[in-house]
């Protein structure tokens, strides 16, 4: 069950960042880096923080990125469950 849930945790994050790769601003302020240039690829991978035009875009970004924050604990839980299952045999 957990192994199937882990990719779903990252899906909103990936869908939120995908339009940046194709040049859509998605609420970024005009002075923010334009992530469709190759030297701004760090933004697409989440390495630099953006600044949004209003709270709506910031909330939408947070809703898309927040499930990805559970990826680490989910992998840890899956690893522990796998270890327990293997040790019982």
Output the pLDDT for position 49.
64
Distance CA 44, CA 41 (A): 5
- Write out residues in the chain with pLDDT < 70, as ranges: 1-2, 30-50, 89
Burial label, 84 (beta-carbon count in 10 A; 0-12, 13-18, 19+): exposed
pTM beyond cutoff 0.85: no
Give the structural domain span for 62: 2-87
- Total domain count for the chain? 1
CB within 8 A of 77, min separation 6: which ones? 2
Determine the length of the chain: 89
């Amino acid at each position: 069950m957990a192994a199937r849930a882990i990719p779903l945790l990252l899906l909103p994050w990936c869908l939120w960042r995908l339009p940046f790769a194709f040049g859509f601003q998605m609420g970024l302020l005009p002075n923010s880096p334009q992530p469709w240039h190759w030297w701004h690829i760090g933004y697409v991978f989440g390495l630099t923080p953006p600044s949004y035009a209003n709270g709506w875009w910031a909330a939408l970004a947070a809703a898309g990125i927040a499930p990805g924050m559970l990826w680490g604990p989910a992998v840890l839980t899956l690893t522990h469950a796998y270890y327990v299952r293997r040790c019982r045999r």
